[in-house]
């Protein structure tokens, strides 16, 4: 599983490098809140584990990364690796993804250069 995460991470890093810069406040009003290069939507199965390992690798490469845990079940080793690498983790505790709309994490989703889909596969 770690090898899949590493392969995904290297492809994502190339996408981040090619992404257009985000507008700054000099271009008009900008949503307040934290920003990251990559945000992962993480389910409870193997795809979620792959996404978390990719997040860990990307963070180790120096990118700013966030993971949004959508399920109560999660891949514990991959989550530990992501946290140890400095990935910002938001746990929705099985709640709806729509709770993001009323939270500071909305800016993570709105302004990430790349999203990783690790929900189901």
What domains are defined for the chain?
Answer: 2-12+33-118 (3.40.50.720)
Could you read off the pLDDT of 61-92 as tens digits, one per residue? 999 999 999 999 999 999 999 999 999 999 99
CB 46 within 8 A of CB 121: yes
Could you read off the pLDDT of 91-121 as tens digits, one per residue? 998 888 888 887 777 888 888 889 999 998 7
What is d(CA 41, CA 25) in angstroms, rounded to the nearest whole number?
A: 27
Residue 19: CB partners within 8 Å, gap ≥ 6? 113, 114
* pLDDT at residue number 68: 95
Among 3-12, 15-24, 41-50, 59-68, the range scoring the smallest mean pLDDT is 15-24
């Amino acid at each position: 599983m770690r090898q899949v995460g590493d392969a995904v991470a290297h492809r994502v890093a190339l996408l981040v490098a090619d992404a257009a810069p985000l507008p700054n406040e000099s271009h008009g009003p900008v949503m307040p809140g934290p920003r990251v290069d990559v945000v992962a939507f993480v389910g409870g199965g193997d795809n979620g584990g792959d996404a978390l390992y990719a997040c860990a690798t990307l963070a180790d490469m120096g990118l700013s990364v966030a993971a949004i845990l959508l399920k109560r079940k999660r891949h514990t080793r991959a989550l530990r690796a992501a946290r140890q690498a400095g990935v910002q983790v938001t746990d929705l505790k099985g709640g709806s993804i729509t709770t993001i709309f009323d939270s500071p994490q909305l800016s993570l989703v709105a302004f990430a250069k790349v999203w990783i889909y690790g929900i189901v596969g």
